[in-house]
Structure 1
Amino acid sequence: MIINLLFRTIFILQLLFTCKGSIRKRILVDDNFYTLVNKLDALEKEVATLKANAANNNTIQALKQDVALLKMQQAKQTNTVAFMAYLTTHERGTNHHILFDDVKTNIGNAYNPRHGVFIAPVDGLYQFSVTACSVSQHYIVLELNVKDTVLGKVIAGNGWAAACNSKVFLVQLAQGDDVFVTHTTTGEWLYANAAYGVPNFTGLLIKET
């Protein structure tokens, strides 16, 4: 205990010569040894509090920087664009523009079920999928069109049972480009089953460019 007090006394003497004027005045108000020890304890606690506050300030500053970065990233992103629509009636014959009429999702309202057309709201990379179905002894080929140009085809059919097939497409679109599904001349029976949600047409914006 005595040794500890001696160390504290030495520290107080050093503090008197090194501390700022305002703190020195506070220490010199009362030169009672034990009072000085108590003041030293209080100063140690005050220093610990200041260190904790400094650490908290650093944490707050780091959080503010993270928030600013997230806001910048959010500003670069567009609203979500996505749709999913089913066909509820069979199509027989050839040369059809397929109107997927049962819309399950249409975030951004870029898909028009009355015309069966998706219109790109922004420039970007998009993903589309088309599912085609046909009955036994028949088959069907559907085309995915972008601005009246066939991007790709999906074929479905089976010799002994109804069958479906799906295909995924990636395409870079400019704002205003239209995307739709047709059946021209290959195959003649597009089978629909609303209970299973087929055939279907889906799309989403992957990244705005």
Structure 2
Amino acid sequence: MVNEIKKTEDKVISTLGDIKQTVTGFTNMFEDMKGNITDEMLKRGDAIQRREEKLEQPSIAFYAHHLKDLALDTTNEILIFEKTITNEGTGYDTSTGLFTAPVGGLYQFVVHTCAYKGKYSYLGLVMEGNVIAADANYGDTNYGCNTFGAIVRVKSGEKVWVKSTSSGSVHQLHQNTHRMNTFSGVLVNY
């Protein structure tokens, strides 16, 4: 009988060992699954955060036209485009001709102007006092129109404008219903 008890005890110990291995296997498999799920949740959380940040990007854009003064008789005179079609973020001021960045970021600015027939225009796109793009134009037998611009990083509160870089009696712009002088800008990346 002692032998039978010993055999039963060995079987019980062996079965308990098998159960322990099975439980350990399940535990390891569960830990692996838990790690994979955690990694996947972290990745998805990061993706959601990036989407939320993109949705939070402010909408900053302006499109101004119609020059207050077409004569370019003063060097460094700021061109004042007195009408806006778009002014998201209210960065462009129609009374001063200055765009003040409501938020910092990468901006694209475009200037389109037309020189009067037989006249010149020398203009600069200016950021915080520094010319960052320039244009020279001559209205030969007709009214010549040109476009120029720049993509620049602008800090919050910095100003961008258009100015005459040369002046005189032979410098003048032209505008009518077919030729608009425009100044525009848009926040490309926040």
Tell me the TM-score range normalised by the shorter chain: 0.5 to 0.7
Q: Which runs of 5+ in 2 are unaligned?
A: 1-39
Corresponding residue of 1:75: 53
Corresponding residue of 1:132: 113
Amino acid across the alignment from 1:94: T
**C-alpha spacing 1:191/1:67, structure 2 compared with 1 (3 Å):** farther
Deviations 1:38-93 (A, max 9, x none): xxxxxxxxxxxxxxxxxxxxxxxx9xx97984454232442110000002445212
How many residues of Structure 1 are paired with residues of Structure 2 in the alignment? Answer: 144
Corresponding residue of 2:187: 205
Contact kept? 2:69, 2:79, Cα under 8 Å: no
Match of 1:189 among 169, 172, 189: 172
Dislocated runs of 4+, deviation >4 Å: 65-68
Percent of pairs identical after alignment? 26
Contact kept? 1:130, 1:154, Cα under 8 Å: no
How far apart are 1:185 and its partner, in Å? 1.7
Contact kept? 1:89, 1:192, Cα under 8 Å: no
Residue 120 of structure 1 pairs with residue 98 of structure 2: no
Compare the two structures and name the one with the higher helix fraction. 1
Corresponding residue of 2:74: 94
CA distance in 1, matches of 2:155, 2:97: 19
TM-score (norm 1): 0.62
Q: Output the aligned Cα RMSD.
A: 2.3
Q: Which runs of 5+ in 1 are unaligned?
A: 1-61
How far apart are 1:141 and its partner, in Å? 1.2
Corresponding residue of 1:166: 147
SS at 1:101's partner residue? Answer: strand
